[in-house]
Amino acid sequence: MRIVSTVCELREYVKTWRSIGKSIAFVPTMGNLHAGHLQLVNTAKKKADRVVVSIFVNPTQFGAGEDYETYPRTEQEDQRKLQAEGADLLFLPSVAEIYAPDARTEVTVTGLSDLYCGASRPGHFSGVAIVVCKLFNMAQPDIALFGLKDFQQLTIIKTMVRDLNIPVEIVGVDTVRELSGLAMSSRNGYLTDAEKQVAPKLYHSLCVARDAILAGNLAYADLEQQASQFLQQAGFQPDYFSVCRSSDLKKAGAEDVELVILAAAKMGKTRLIDNIYFSR
Ligand code: PAF
């Protein structure tokens, strides 16, 4: 696996591969790689000839008082895992390589960026959208892969790509879970042992709501309230629990069939998000 840190070097590799007819898959990450990330790389390998992975802890998607400084940075370990997984190129840029000091351009997917996680983390999704847009322009991949665990992020990226005519196919990859059901996340490392015992209840609450809907209960507001109450009693501080249309994340109505239930809750200091999507 080659490792580069400049856009120029990245483009050289991509140009060479393209010149010999190779297709390119891209997996953007913030590092601290777990089985969920490796699943993205593994899927990417099946879909394209060359796999480029980026590791960049993107400052613009962290709000004031969030964990930008303390976000786990495990570069050596990440490199080893990517090498073992068969990635072809690792892009490891500095902040200065990505952002000009006087950068002025913003990317905001209105109507989506300010909902759910965006309501609790103002500016977060504009930070995600600008960095992903820039990384696409830098790597110019044929396809890019993102975890379905971050369902709202994936919806925002798909919408941005459509609206800006970015020539990349976006592929969502299933969430990888611990045996307990807890969705893999770099932030799980913040959980204490005791919190780790309770954290799987977030996924459990999603499964209970889904099963109720599949059994014919369409009283979504009641289901949302019951789930929030359950989470609170289990020791979470629920942020949102929302039954949505999976196409545009608007609140689901009785006529909607393709659904996603989005949830976020704090367990101690750790913000956990998860979702479940299904057809009714
Ligand atoms: O999901 C992530 O790890 C990040 O939000 C992403 C897509 C790499 C952008 O920084």
pLDDT tens column, 140-155: 999 999 999 999 999 9
Distance CA 33, CA 52 (A): 15
Question: What integer pLDDT is reported at residue 209 of this predicted model?
Answer: 98
Which of 135, 152, 173 lies at the terminal end of a domain, its last residue?
Answer: 173
* CA pair distance 200, 161, nearest whole angstrom: 33
Average pLDDT of the residues of the chain:
98
Instruction: Count other Cβ atoms within 10 Å, centred on residue 102.
Output: 5
Residue 268 one-letter amino acid: G
Query: Contact 56/28 with Cβ under 8 angstroms?
Result: yes
State how far the Cα of 271 lies from the Cα of 59, in Å rounded to an integer: 18
Assigned token pair, 104: 């002025």
Q: Is the same domain home to 162 and 258? A: no
Domain count within the chain: 2
266 pLDDT tier (thresholds 50, 70, 90): very high
Over range 91-99, report the average pLDDT: 98
Q: Which of 41, 146, 147 is nearest to 89 (CA)?
A: 41
Closest atom, ligand 1, to C-alpha of 58: 10
Q: Nearest residue CA, atom 1 of ligand 1?
A: 29
Q: Which residues constitute the domain of residue 194?
A: 186-279
Average pLDDT over residues 185-199: 97
* Contact indicator for 2, 90 with CB cutoff of 8 Å: yes
Answer yes or no: is 53 within a domain: yes
- Which atom of ligand 1 lies nearest, measured to the CA of 61? 10
What is the reported pLDDT for 88?
98
pLDDT in tens, 39-81: 999 999 999 999 999 999 999 999 999 999 999 999 999 999 9
Ligand 1 pocket mutation pick from 27, 30, 73 by most atoms within 8 angstroms of CB: 30
Q: Which parts of the chain are beta strand (E)? A: 2-4, 24-29, 50-55, 89-91, 143-147, 169-173, 237-245, 258-267, 270-279
In whole angstroms, what is the distance from residue 85 CA to residue 43 CA? 11
Contact 147, 173 (CB under 8 A): yes
Residues 119, 83 share a domain: yes
C-alpha 211 – ligand 1 centre gap (Å)? 30
Cβ atoms of 226 and 238 closer than 8 Å: no
CATH no. for residue 193?
A: 3.30.1300.10
Percent of the chain at pLDDT above 70?
100
Model pLDDT, residue 201 = 98
**Secondary structure (3-state) at 115:** coil
> Whole-angstrom Cα distance, residue 15 to residue 31?
25
What sign results for the dihedral spanned by CA atoms 79, 83, 84, 85? positive
* Alpha carbons 253 and 272: distance in angstroms, whole number: 26
How many degrees, rounded to 5, is the angle at CA 147 between CA 141 and CA 148? 125
Q: Around Cβ 141, how many Cβ atoms within 10 Å?
A: 24
State yes or no: is 37 an active-site residue: yes
pLDDT at site 65: 94
Q: What number is the average pLDDT over the span 122-130?
A: 98
Active-site choice (34, 37, 124, 204):
37
User: Could you tell me the pLDDT band of residue 222, with boundaries at 50, 70 and 90?
Assistant: very high
Q: Where is the domain boundary, 108, 139, 173?
A: 173
Q: Give the residue, by CA position, lying nearest to ligand 1 atom 2.
A: 29
CB of 29 closer than 6 angstroms to any ligand 1 atom: yes
Q: Which pLDDT band holds residue 7 (cuts at 50, 70, 90)? A: very high
Ligand 1 lined by 209 (C-beta under 6 Å): no
Query: Residue 132: its pLDDT value, please?
Result: 99
- Can you name the residues that pair with 139 across neighbouring β-strands? none
pLDDT of residue 169: 98
Contact 241, 227 (CB under 8 A): yes
150 in ligand 1 pocket by Cβ < 6 Å? yes
* Domain final position from 173, 198, 218: 173
Does some domain include residue 58?
yes
Residue 229: predicted pLDDT? 98
The answer to whether residue 99 is domain-embedded is yes
Task: Tell me, yes or no, whether 239 and 133 share the same domain.
Answer: no
**Pocket flag, ligand 1, residue 131 (CB < 6 Å):** yes
37 and 160 part of one domain: yes
The residue whose C-alpha atom lies closest to atom 5 belonging to ligand 1 is 128
Cα 72 to middle of ligand 1, angstroms: 14
CA neighbor of 1 nearest in space, from 82, 73, 94, 74: 82
191 shares its domain with 109: no
